[in-house]
Chain A
């Protein structure tokens, strides 16, 4: 119990702390349709304190589509809203409902429904202390809306009701020509707009009616029903008046223009077909006017048709005119009948022709729009369309019509003949195209581009094919190019050259002007390729040969008789003239000759020499001799190669061009006694630049110990420019020995400045090998002491 009391006190304290204070009326609010009820706290108005916030709970409406109307005199001293949700502690958001009362209503109309338990009338702001004079009522919305606007609706109807005076006077006292059509139509448009607006508002209110109100005797409901009926009557009148004014105005406006009158026939017919809706003064006035106008129509068009010179459709709807005769109650004459029959026939022919024209044009357009290869079916379709065009076309004549000899009729006949022939021609062409497309498709599948081109060129009438198959030139060239390049790749030189020749002679082209230069360029390129490939393969063959044979030491001369130095193919074709071919072949042969006489020996010499110097005791003599033989075949100008050969040729003199530097030379045997003694030779050409007029040198010849250990007997003969040198006088040949590192000294050796000074040394030595000898020239110097 104590806990209950404590809890209650705590809740009271907490509630006293809420942001909003609830005003609880006494008696409580009643949610029933009623008049205004003062909301008091036990006979007293509630007192509001400035700066505080309040709220009052209102129960749900008794049914949907109700308004809670509230009315106070507080003006802007308080700010209020009605919300279906509310939290006194400001923890939840308010969802203020719209006030749907008119701005100047002096009350608030809050739309409330039965689906919400409570609504909270919330005072957000009290600007000064004041009593709250608040009245409220619940009522259906339709009622509130209608009751608050019924007077205004009625007044609006009155204001927009159209006078019947003019309407009733037309054809009686008022002539149509004198009617202020625009003014009246304008007035009708404005007023009818208002009337229709009112009808829409009533329809909106009517949707709020509860089911129980229909057929009830509720005064507001009855008042509503009457107003609705009055609005309907006025609206119907204004509609009739407007249509009558419009058709009459049309008749007046087409006066002086038969075509305009004829074009207005459908409107006249429509009006006259409902003439019962209008009073006699109006329908009669129009009928009389049309009757008179129809009399003008036939002569007018008769003249027009006789003067017509084109085959365009005649702009006259004879069906409408004939109906107008009927609606106006006027009998139809023969002239009109003839005219109507001709117009009908002419326009039908014109229409068919035009339709056929469109079919043929579309077929042409399809052909023109073609991209890629058209299947045969495509042309079958086109053939069918051409046939359709043919079927559409009517017979050419106009029978016994009085207008059959008019220019237009004749032209029409001619045009139909023409288009007939055209359609027939196209049909045949498309038929032919279908057959050709079939052939081309088959050939293309077989990649017989040349025959495809032939086929196309054999059907010159199908010129569109040249466009569609324009790529055949390129394909044909590419196909031939591929065939040639494949042959080249497989070194089928005969096939490649034959292909090249065929390509050169190729004349089958869709567009010869364009493809010709391409072919020419291609032939040149492939021709170059053929030559280059022949060269390259020949060279590869030679290279392979060289790589295999460069180390050959025996019978080196035979290597140069090997057919690898002939071209792999003797080219006979040229796109140029014979002289050019001969020049080209000559160039090729020169190239091969270069391979044979320069590159091969150079490579062999270089390689052999590398091996030679790497180990002169390993087949050194044989290598050196092989190098010399290669050197005999070498026709190049590379001094380095020649030098290598010379280094290995005992009879070639090696240049000694510097002083004080030992130069290595190889003493080689000039005989071939593998077991016994051989004669060795080396030659040195002393070509040392000098300022001296009478140069001499001390020549140091460093010998292998095997040779040098013989001392003074080491040499057989030493010559200088073929003159035998003997030690006599100042000239001496100092013997080699272990004390001087086996160096023989030839001194002083006089040489010819700028000339050849070939020192040849011969010595005999057992064995067949290479002896390295180092030679150094020193210049003697002047000495003081």
Chain B
């Protein structure tokens, strides 16, 4: 009996071990499963940057541009999307760019997604809706309307006098007229025309857009997640893309390790995870950082001298080394897309333009690293720092709060605490700890997101107020800085000691964001940095490395995440290991 019990128990244990290893209830075959924070549902607008990084990444999943940017092992390339480049003709007044629109590209609403009797999801054809020049025209009008809020507008308006084209002719060819400002190469042109196309019958100002021509189709949103199915007309290798919700990002590595997800686009702390270090199960890929942490100073509670003193007080290297536990057994290791390891200093920031941003990397902005000696006499006894943990980066915020509250650091003057969003909105802080995500390592560094964002992290509202001169020229309105409508509590509604500099700041920010001229953007960037050095608007801490993990379910060679390209730019090429 005992022997039988022992044998039976052994069998049960063996079965349990097999089940644990195989996890047949967690079969993710033919699925790409990516986590997201449940209360930060991604909303997809291919023409506007989002505060939720995953939103922008999904643009590549649903939509095509006339040309699509695609990552390769050594860089990026441009592939034909909804058009092919036929010719570039140099004329006296313009470069004529001849494109042939692809005539058989179908919109996703050409299909109907159903569940059959067996409970399987099937895709049936409906009346085909083809992409036409009308869709292109609608998209251009929308981008025009979005103006400086859209990076695409800036790209296009620097390239063309008018966002329009002629044609199509019988051969479905259209002609764009590019300004003769440079000797346009085909890659330049394809990059300018890589904006995503929406169908002409879309709402111009919809909350989100789901009908595209991209490799995956929106298959609906359920409590267990957001689903996308392979576009039957396209060549994606994996049938399903699923976004799976979680409370926060603290368990992402565990979930990957447990097989609940198979793609982790960013890790906590941006660091390599010790529990995912089994390279037989996972592989890691990095790309350029898109998130940084900063303390934004409240200009209504701290005067300029105080802010300068506070900035000098906060040593970001100390913060960062504590953050990554450098030198301790628990050190959080990092790696960048170039293969460098534990190069923490590369992520230290000395300007509102992060060190990994284009503006610093290209020496357009030369941040002042020497902050001087802090004059603590100018500072209040307690510097109140607030942070909200409910909108991502919970773990990171928590660690940072703890670091700021360490009495051994910063002369014990900082009092950091987590607050809810409502409290944050009141502005009762001397500094706001915030993760600024989604900045791109390109020209489009979204200063609106820093200076004009409504201080409500549940929203992503930009408080830009502009005036028109009736001739199509717009200028900023000082109502854009109304005191309580931005993190810095900048106020141009009444005269104050810093009115002129705040006005200049708004001028520069608007100039930076609205200009179509790269040189102007550079100069504004430089001036904003210099002005910030003078005004001491924040303490720019460090950036998070961008580290992604993938299950060995996928063929590592099929996934390319070259630094500049969006992570999902080649998702249709991902394939499972055979």
Which A residues are closer than 8 A to B by beta carbons?
658-661, 690-696, 698, 729-730, 748, 750, 776, 778-785
- Out of A659, A695, A784, name the residue touching B182 (CB < 8 Å): A659
Contact A784 B191 (CB under 8 A): yes
Given A748-B519, A785-B442, A659 and B181 touching (CB < 8 A)?
yes
The CA of A690 and the CA of B181, in the complex, are separated in Å by: 10
Name the residue on B nearest A731 (C-beta).
B363
Contact, CB under 8 Å: A781 / B194: no
Cβ–Cβ contact B517 & A785, under 8 A: no
Q: Indicate if the CB atoms of A729 and B519 lie closer than 8 Å.
A: no
A692-B517, A781-B158, A782-B442 known, 11 other contacts, Cβ within 8 Å? A659-B180, A660-B90, A660-B184, A692-B515, A693-B511, A694-B523, A729-B366, A781-B155, A781-B188, A781-B192, A784-B191
Question: For the complex, what is the distance from the CA of A406 to the CA of B51, rounded to whole Å?
Answer: 153
Interface of A is mostly: loop
Q: Of A693, A694, A776, A785, which contacts B564 at CB under 8 A?
A: A785
Q: How far is the CB of B223 from chain A (nearest CB, A)?
A: 35
Contact A782–B158 (Cβ < 8 Å): yes
Query: When each residue 193-216 of chain B gets 1 if its CB lies under 8 Å from chain A and 0 otherwise, what string results?
Result: 010000000000000000000000
Complex A-B, nearest 6 residue pairs according to Cβ-Cβ distance, in ascending order: A694-B523, A692-B517, A778-B182, A696-B519, A779-B181, A782-B443
Partner of B517, one of A658, A661, A695: A695
Question: CB < 8 Å: which of A661, A692, A750 contacts B180?
Answer: A661
Within the complex, the shortest CB–CB distance from A745 to chain B, in Å, comes to 12
List, in ascending order, chain A residues with CB within 8 A of B438's CB: none
Scan B142-160; emit 1 where CB is below 8 A from any A CB, else 0: 0000000001001100110
Of all chain A residues, the one with the shortest Cβ separation from B69 is: A785
In the complex, the chain A residue whose C-beta lies closest to that of B183 is A660
B contact residues vs A (CB 8 Å cutoff)? 69, 76, 90, 95, 151, 154-155, 158-159, 180-184, 188, 191-192, 194, 362-364, 366, 442-444, 511, 515-524, 564-565
Residue of A nearest to B178 (CB): A660
Q: Which residues of A contact B524 (CB under 8 A)?
A: 694
Alpha-carbon gap, A31 to B404, bound state (A): 187
Q: A784-B155, A785-B76 are in contact. Are A693 and B520 (CB under 8 A)?
A: yes
Q: How far is the CA of A690 from the CA of B521 in the complex (A)?
A: 14
20 A-B pairs with CB atoms under 8 Å apart are A660-B182, A660-B183, A660-B184, A692-B517, A692-B519, A692-B520, A693-B520, A693-B523, A694-B524, A695-B517, A695-B520, A698-B182, A729-B363, A730-B364, A778-B181, A780-B518, A781-B192, A782-B518, A783-B443, A785-B191
- A658 contacts which chain B residues (CB < 8 A)? 180
Distance from B469 Cβ to chain A, minimum over Cβ atoms (Å): 15
Chain A residues in 8 Å Cβ range of B183: 660, 776, 778
Q: Is the CB of B565 within 8 A of A785?
A: yes
Q: Measured between C-beta atoms, what is the minimum distance from B474 to chain A in Å?
A: 14
A661 vs B95: C-alpha distance when bound (angstroms): 12
Q: Which residues of B contact A750 (CB under 8 A)?
A: 519
Among A690, A692, A694, A782, point to the contact of B155 (Cβ < 8 A).
A782
- Alpha-carbon separation in the docked complex, A654 to B366 (Å): 34
Q: Which B residues lie within 8 Å of A661 (CB)?
A: 180
In whole Å, how far is A295's beta carbon from the nearest beta carbon of chain B?
Answer: 132
Q: Known interface pairs A660-B181, A693-B511, A730-B364. Does A784 touch B523 (Cβ–Cβ under 8 Å)?
A: no
Q: Which residues of A contact B443 (CB under 8 A)?
A: 782-784
A691 touches B442 (CB 8 A): no
Cβ contacts under 8 Å, B76 to chain A: 785
Roughly how many angstroms separate A695 CA and B444 CA in the complex, as a whole number?
18
Chain A residues with CB below 8 A from B522, complex form: 694, 696, 748
Of the candidates B180, B191, B517, B520, the one whose C-beta lies within 8 Å of that of A783 is: B191
Which residues of B lie under 8 Å from residue A781 when comparing CB positions? 155, 158-159, 181-182, 188, 192, 518
* Docked pose: A767 CA to B181 CA in angstroms: 36
Give bound CA distance, A359 to B191, whole Å: 121
B521 surroundings in chain A (CB, below 8 A): 782
Assembled-state Cα–Cα distance A730/B158 (Å): 22
Contacts of A748 in B (CB 8 A): 519, 522
Q: A784 and B151: CB pair below 8 A?
A: yes
Contacts of A784 in B (CB 8 A): 69, 151, 155, 191, 194, 442-444
Closest chain A residue to B95, Cβ basis: A660
A778–B521 Cα gap in the complex (Å)? 16
List residues of chain A with CB within 8 A of the CB of B69: 784-785
Q: How far is the CB of B284 from chain A (nearest CB, A)?
A: 23
The chain B residue with its CB closest to the CB of A778 is B182
Max chain B Cβ within 10 angstroms of own Cβ: one of A691, A698, A730, A779? A779
Contacts of A698 in B (CB 8 A): 182
Contact with B519, one of A660, A780, A783 (Cβ below 8 angstroms): A780
Closest chain A CB from B107 CB (angstroms): 24
Give complex CA distance A308, B95 in Å: 122
Shortest Cβ distance from residue B363 to the other chain A in the assembled complex, whole angstroms: 4
Complex CA–CA separation, A783 to B151 (angstroms): 9
| Contact (A782, B181) CB under 8 Å given A693-B511, A694-B523, A696-B522 | no
C-alpha gap A776/B183 in the complex (Å): 9
Residue from B180, B182, B511 having most chain A Cβ neighbours under 10 A: B182
Nearest Cβ on chain A to B111's Cβ, whole angstroms:
30
- Expressed in whole angstroms, the minimum distance between the Cβ of A744 and any Cβ of chain B is 16
Q: How far is the CB of B477 from chain A (nearest CB, A)?
A: 20
Q: What chain A residues lie within 8 Å of B523 (beta carbons)?
A: 693-694
In the complex, A425→B516 CA distance in Å? 113
Report the nearest B residue to A751, measured CB to CB.
B519
**Is there contact, CB below 8 Å, between B519 and A694?**
yes
A782 to B523, CA, bound (A): 13
- Chain A nearest CB from B154 CB (Å) reads 6
With both chains docked as a complex, state the minimum distance between the C-beta of B522 and any C-beta of chain A, in angstroms: 7
Distance A752 CA – B491 CA, assembled complex (angstroms): 33
- The residue in chain B whose Cβ has the minimal distance to the Cβ of A785 is B564
**What A residues does B364 contact at CB under 8 A?**
730
Interface centre among A659, A660, A729, A778 (most CB of B within 10 A): A660
What CA separation (Å) do A782 and B520 show in the bound complex?
Answer: 10
Distance of A779 Cα from B520 Cα, bound (Å)? 12
Measured CB to CB, the closest approach of chain A to B335, in angstroms, equals: 22
Complex Cα distance, B188 from A698, in Å, reads 15
- A782 with B154: CB separation less than 8 A: yes
* Distance of A690 Cα from B192 Cα, bound (Å): 20
Q: For the complex, give the distance between the alpha carbons of A693 and B510 in Å.
A: 13
Chain B: CB-nearest residue to A697: B519
Residue of A nearest to B182 (CB): A778
B181 touches A695 (CB 8 A): no
A779 to B154 Cα, complex, angstroms:
15
Shortest Cβ gap from A659 to chain B (Å): 5
The residue in chain B whose Cβ has the minimal distance to the Cβ of A688 is B181
Query: What is the bound-complex CA distance between A782 and B150, given in angstroms?
Result: 13
Task: Give the residue among B181, B192, B366, B516 with the most A Cβ atoms within 10 A.
Answer: B181
In the bound assembly, the distance between CA atoms of A782 and B512 in angstroms comes to: 12
Name the A residues within 8 Å of B565 (CB-CB): 785
**In the complex, chain B residues whose CB is within 8 Å of the CB of A730:** 362-364
Query: How far in angstroms is the closest Cβ of chain A from B291?
Result: 18
B517 engages A690 (CB within 8 Å): yes
Q: How far is the CB of A686 from chain B (nearest CB, A)?
A: 13
Nearest CB in chain A: distance from B160 CB, A = 12
With A and B bound together, what is the CA distance between A748 and B516 in angstroms? 17
Closest beta carbon of chain B to A115's beta carbon, Å = 114
Q: Is the CB of A660 within 8 A of B518?
A: no
Write out the residue numbers on chain A whose beta carbons fall within 8 Å of the beta carbon of B520. 692-695
Q: How far is the CA of A780 from the CA of B518 in the complex (A)?
A: 6
Most buried by B among A690, A694, A779: A694
In angstroms, Cα B366 to Cα A782, docked, is 20
Distance from B558 Cβ to chain A, minimum over Cβ atoms (Å): 21
CA distance A661 to B90 in the complex (A): 10
Cα distance A750–B188 in the bound complex, in angstroms: 22
When distances are taken between beta carbons in the complex, the residues of chain A under 8 Å from B518 are 696, 779-782
The CA-CA distance from A520 to B489 in the complex, in Å, is: 94
**Closest Cβ of chain A: how far from B246's Cβ, in Å?**
30
Give the docked Cα–Cα distance between A690 and B95 (Å).
17
Taken together as a complex, chains A and B put the C-alpha atoms of A35 and B214 apart, in Å, by: 155
